[in-house]
Structure 1
């Protein structure tokens, strides 16, 4: 049976979901019954004929009764919209980050369990065959020295003007979670955490983070973090939105028998013995997987439970007493119109993931003392 689907949050990244839903609909797996956004819809892609558009998600739920709801709204609004959708009898595809705290995670999980509903979280890179090959190769690397993640992107002033919550820590008393680690580059963090889960590292217990900003926002655009697990394994993450040359996003694991590297946005993989990254074809669509789960019980690729460690890290980064990211001065930043770049940042990112030392531990001149936080039990 074709599942009916509605999208809440149809602008911005929601436009990607509109296109993806159209592709799945063309394959005969779903039927779009409604779109919702508090702003007028952007015209590309066009709204299909006969599909109603709402400004209130509750009206959409009441009038269209969808089987599945895709939620692509600002992160701090996810929980209430998800609870409303569950109460309306819907299964969920919930964009990342799913919720802003472990308390919200537990509330959502309890609501899903009581209603018998399913929730897939939008970490789409975990649906790729390249990820599965990387994950399966970890056991053959011998004793791991650690797992690392890095990415270098460039986001200019217009990125932080895209919405009232962009670059904010809190709005209306709620954490907004728009920092590089937990929103634009959240996939790097999640892939690294999932890698640690795959090798049985236990739960993450401590976060040591250095967070920086190149403009007067309230969250980090550049970050370095070390997360230590029960079993002693550590993952080190080095990312920036003030980068030089583009690094799409890489996860690497180094062991006594070699190294494996996954470029997760492009599904390129290098295993021990490979001379270079090679493309691994095949990426499962999360919406299709959710529809198949509804129909036949196939496992979800990214169930809510799989994101608990990510939410624990997110919560540690957004506790009220966490210091603001260190604002770099003009001596460490090059400004070119709306774009700001940290000279030498790409070399530093590479050095951090190679040595697993944080900038302050290397004596980088602009580095600030790290922020250390015990992670809450998930």
Structure 2
């Protein structure tokens, strides 16, 4: 029987899911039964005939009774919606970041186990053939002295006006997850952590981070984070939303036998002795979830695979961690709605090359990092 599917959070990025679900429905893989959003649905793509539209996910779960639910709501709302969907007998595709804390992660995991349900987390780059080749090449590099992740994007003022929770740390007493490290550039963090896992590095134990902002928001738009694992491996993440030339997102590994570089958004890969080239092929995460439901096909990104990410996220967002430092105007180039940190792209490259934070390099606008111990399981 064709499984039924519903989408909770059908505007914004949910529009991409609406189009993708339509493709799967045309292929006979699913049947869409309901859409949910607090706001009236954006007209593109149109709502298919016979599909019910709700404003409350609980009404959808009661009336449409879907087999699978895609949750594409603000990250701080994920846990209660997911638990309701599990209680209604649904399997989940949960957009990243999955939850806001390790306690929430464990609550969700327990709910899934108790109900015998599955949850795939939307880190879609982990379904690419390029990632698989990069991961498989890591042991061949010899002793690795660091895993790095860097990206340089540009987000204008309108990005922080997209929703009431945008750029915020707390809304209605709940932690909001909208900093560069844990929302727009969460894929960079997750790919780097997954690389460390592939090397058998153990669990992340310490986070040393510097976070900055170029406008009056509450979260970082530029961040540098060094994560140390059980075995001593270090992961260095350097990202910005106030960048110069565009860097899509790169994961690097260097060892005694050479370097590997993965541009994860585009599936471009360079292994030792090779030029950067596109590696075609991605397994769609929703398709993988559907295959998992009907066979022994393993999930590509089960909730358990994101526990390290959640540990880092929690360390970055706990209330007693100081907020990101607002850079002085002389360190920022303002051009209408656009704000750029001059020289930031060179700095990103230096940080990933040396594994040193800006404050350790003597960058004039850098501030002292904060250090967090990560919990031991």
Alignment of 1:79-90 (within 5 A): 79-90=79-90
User: 1:294-352 CA deviation, whole Å, 9 max, x = no partner?
Assistant: 00021000000000000000000011110010000111001111110000111110111
Q: Secondary structure at the match of 1:70?
A: strand
What is aligned with 1:173? 173
What is aligned with 1:78? 78
- Unpaired runs of at least 5, structure 1: none
Alignment of 1:1-378 (within 5 A): 1-274=1-274, 276-378=275-377
Instruction: Give the Cα–Cα distance (whole angstroms) in 2 for the partners of residues 259 and 354 of structure 1.
Output: 12
Deviation (angstroms), 1:43: 1.1
Instruction: Give the Cα–Cα distance (whole angstroms) in 1 for the partners of residues 330 and 142 of structure 2.
Output: 43
Instruction: Give the Cα–Cα distance (whole angstroms) in 1 for the partners of residues 376 and 90 of structure 2.
Output: 29
Q: Secondary structure at the match of 2:34?
A: strand
Instruction: Give the Cα–Cα distance (whole angstroms) in 2 for the partners of residues 360 and 172 of structure 1.
Output: 34
Deviation (angstroms), 1:377: 2.7
Instruction: Give the Cα–Cα distance (whole angstroms) in 1 for the partners of residues 162 and 332 of structure 2.
Output: 22
User: 1:131-155 CA deviation, whole Å, 9 max, x = no partner?
Assistant: 0000000010000011000000000
Instruction: Give the Cα–Cα distance (whole angstroms) in 1 for the partners of residues 276 and 197 of structure 2.
Output: 24
Contact 1:120 1:304 in 2 (8 A): yes
Q: Secondary structure at the match of 2:157?
A: coil
Instruction: Give the Cα–Cα distance (whole angstroms) in 2 for the partners of residues 279 and 91 of structure 1.
Output: 33
User: 1:235-292 CA deviation, whole Å, 9 max, x = no partner?
Assistant: 0000000001110000000000010000000000000010x21010100000000000
Instruction: Give the Cα–Cα distance (whole angstroms) in 2 for the partners of residues 257 and 201 of structure 1.
Output: 19
Deviation (angstroms), 1:47: 1.1
Instruction: Give the Cα–Cα distance (whole angstroms) in 1 for the partners of residues 318 and 82 of structure 2.
Output: 23
Deviation (angstroms), 1:2: 1.7
Q: Secondary structure at the match of 2:147?
A: strand
Deviation (angstroms), 1:28: 1.4
Deviation (angstroms), 1:371: 0.9
Normalising by the residue count of structure 2, what TM-score does the alignment of the two structures yield?
0.99
Deviation (angstroms), 1:44: 1.2
Q: Secondary structure at the match of 2:291?
A: helix
Give the RMSD, CA atoms, in angstroms: 0.6
Contact 1:167 1:218 in 2 (8 A): yes
- Unpaired runs of at least 5, structure 2: none
Instruction: Give the Cα–Cα distance (whole angstroms) in 1 for the partners of residues 338 and 155 of structure 2.
Output: 7
Contact 1:316 1:376 in 2 (8 A): no
User: 1:72-99 CA deviation, whole Å, 9 max, x = no partner?
Assistant: 0000100000000000000000000000
Q: Secondary structure at the match of 2:207?
A: strand
Normalising by the residue count of structure 1, what TM-score does the alignment of the two structures yield?
0.99
Deviation (angstroms), 1:19: 1.1
Instruction: Give the Cα–Cα distance (whole angstroms) in 2 for the partners of residues 158 and 264 of structure 1.
Output: 26
Instruction: Give the Cα–Cα distance (whole angstroms) in 1 for the partners of residues 299 and 160 of structure 2.
Output: 33
